[in-house]
Amino acid sequence: MKFLNSQTIVIAGAGNVGWHLAIALSKAGWNIKNIYSKNIRNAKKLASRVNSIATIDFHEIYSADIIIFCLPDDVLLQKLKTIYIPAGKILLHTSGSLGIDVFNSISVNYGSLYPLQTFKKGNDDLDFSTIPVFVEGSNKKTISILQKLAKSISDSVQQANSQQRLFLHIAAVFACNFSNQMYCLAEEICKKHNIDFQLLVPLILQTAMNTKKILPSLNQTGPAKRKDMAVIGKHLEILSAYPELKDMYSSITNSIFVRNNEDGHA
């Protein structure tokens, strides 16, 4: 098999991010030498997809030229306390919240390869080329490799330092994780009142699609935007039976009030 580059890669972590990143890199022609996971079944399952070798021996990751850590932050930080890396290896993580300096006592070649997307194993329809990828490297050599890696799998590659990436990650939590929690709460409300949650899907999709055409700050609708106190009061009265939801409704409504006033839309 002819590979894009003579350099070999180890993916340390066979979770959601590691799964999709390994498959994308393999499709792009990179040589994925090993897949590491503490769970051998997970490692073998991913390794079989990328013509690689599964391992639960953390020391085997040292044999590759490029080591990409797709591990939870706390797990990676714990591993780094005992890790030994031979000179010349390139160490990368995929974290949005960790700086690249976590590697600076271990190697001179290190950085971050951060794909901004929500990942789930088994979602084979995901088109990695559409995912923004943010890179940061410790030196020109590492940045050059990072650019080559990222551009082989994504059409949107940008450099971002650790602070920018951290704020980007915070923004992503609001945009993705917190919005999905809102869907979860909406699902609960529907279930309690024998309503099909799927009836809300067209509304959810349209709201998301609107962000492609107009900034969210210019796209707010609803009773809080209109300052329709009669409707808001009725909602809060009904939600008195659900104190957690009432508090959340009030907090978000007040947040919309404040931003409307700041934007001069009161």
- What is the average pLDDT across 149-159? 95
Above 50 in pLDDT, residue 154? yes
Taking residues 155-159, what's their average pLDDT?
A: 95
Mean pLDDT of 151-176: 94
**Cα→Cα distances 242→92, 192, 222, 236, 256, Å:** 45, 11, 21, 9, 21
Instruction: Name which of 119, 117, 71 is nearest 98 in CA terms.
Output: 71
Q: Given this chain, do its domains 8-160 and 166-262 carry the same CATH topology?
A: no
pLDDT of residue 263: 60
In percent, how much of the chain has pLDDT > 70?
96
Q: Which CATH class is domain 166-262?
A: mainly alpha
Class of domain 8-160: alpha beta
Q: What is the mean pLDDT of the chain?
A: 91
Query: Mapping DSSP to helix (H, G, I), strand (E, B) and coil, where does residue 137 land?
Result: strand
pLDDT tens by residue, 243-265: 999 999 999 999 998 887 766 54
pLDDT over 70 (residue 158):
yes
pLDDT confidence of residue 266: 39
**For residue range 34-61, what is the model confidence (pLDDT) as tens digits?**
999 999 999 999 999 999 999 998 887 8
Is residue 125 pLDDT above 90, yes or no? no
Which segment of 77-86, 98-107, 128-137 scores lowest on mean pLDDT? Answer: 77-86
pLDDT mean over 233-248: 93
Give pLDDT, residue 74: 92
d(CA 210, CA 202): 12
pLDDT value at position 5? 64
Q: Which amino acid is at 57?
A: D
The domain limits of the chain are 8-160, 166-262
Which residues are CB-contacts of 121 (< 8 A; sequence separation ≥ 6)? 15, 16, 19, 20
What's the mean pLDDT in 11-23? 94
pLDDT at 265: 45
Q: Which of 13-27, 77-91, 149-163 has the lowest mean pLDDT?
A: 77-91
Kindly tell me if the per-residue pLDDT of 172 is higher than 70: yes
Mean local confidence (pLDDT), 27-37: 94
Q: What are phi and psi of 216, to 5 degrees?
A: -55, -35
Mean pLDDT calculated for residue range 100-117: 93
